[in-house]
Amino acid sequence: MTDAVGGLAFGTSALAGLYRPCDADAANSVLWAAWAHGIRSFDTAPHYGNGMSERRLGDFLREKEGWVLSTKVGRLLTPAAETTDSVNGFHNPLPFDQHFDFSYDGIMRSVEASFHRLGLNRIDTLYVHDIGDPVAGTDTAVHKKQLLEGGQVALSELKSAGVVKMVGLGVNHTAICCELVPDMDLDQILLAGRYTLLDQSAREKLFPILEKRGVRLVVGGVFNSGILATGPTKSAHYDYAPASDLVLKKVSEIEAICKSHNVPLAAAALQYPARNPLVASTLIGTARTSSLMRNIEQFKTPLPEALWNDLRRSGFIGERE
């Protein structure tokens, strides 16, 4: 069965055991479901399970044609002295340690290692992962200097040589994008959680820069860690933490507008980013086939323009969205 889903890409962090264990059979089942329903764009990273995601995705894609693949640089993996059951939120990761390296040599080594883990002969898009992230500790002058003085040279050489087709940033914050995009030759930004029904902080400052530089956007984290999928429940999470009363109130109001048009909140959340011409694709990820199928159907279901008009009038989305 093939039912192409244009504009939808699949992220594979959950298939490497993010937040809950996922064995190889379960990961393969979800990948097969995505493939059977026309998804051809896949995203991975060395960070996901210390290389587990790259290995599982590469094994799945190896005998197939027509896929598009993105992975990331910025972290190097080295053999760990001991195995661990969980690290960085990933269960049963591969036995490696991580350290950040955005230098010329670091990026070149990262790409080479990714090719070996993937077992594939091409990578379409290469993202610099988690640069400028205060949580990860990469919002330092040293890390930015590594990237601007050496790392971006590596990216340029890899693209010029045809090793990759596109280069960009894979981040959770808009400030670092606003800082780096004007100084780098980038094609695409993978941005998580900053252009959603709940959080449009990317729109005011970042979007004009992207338009000026001709950089496209891949939007991840459309549910903002879950609350735009579950609704404003007591256990709802926003940006990886329990949702505040203010966030719960805002989501309740958005959900009420959706219900007035008989539209599931999750469907509106999935379809909202793609309405902007800057957005090249919407990235989803899950380790459950049932969740994947629900997301695909909600992404494909036509929604009334009156819904967006009401969200616009209520100030939840911009005038031109």
Instruction: Supply the residues annotated as catalytic.
Output: 43, 48, 72
d(CA 152, CA 111): 13
Return d(Cα 284, Cα 222) in angstroms, integer: 8
Using CA atoms, how far apart are residues 315 and 319, in angstroms rounded to an integer?
Answer: 9
Residue 49: half-sphere exposure toward Cβ, Cα within 13 Å: 27
Question: What DSSP line would sit under 79-130, residue for residue?
Answer: E-SS--SEETTEES--SEEEEE--SHHHHHHHHHHHHHHHT-S--SEEEEES
Dihedral (CA of 56, 26, 285, 308) sign = positive
Torsion sign over Cα 280, 111, 147, 87: positive
Alpha-carbon torsion (171, 176, 177, 181), positive or negative? negative
CA distance to 8, 172, 274, 308, per residue, from 279 (Å): 11, 16, 6, 17
What's the angle, vertex CA 27, arms to CA 5 and CA 263, rounded to 5? Answer: 40
214: phi then psi, degrees, rounded to nearest 5: 70, 35
Show the DSSP H helices in the chain as ranges.
24-36, 52-61, 104-118, 141-146, 152-160, 174-180, 201-213, 227-230, 245-260, 265-271, 289-300, 305-313
Determine the Cα–Cα distance for residues 157 and 155; give it in Å rounded to an integer. 5
Q: How far is CA 317 from CA 229, 247, 254, 276, in A?
A: 18, 15, 10, 11
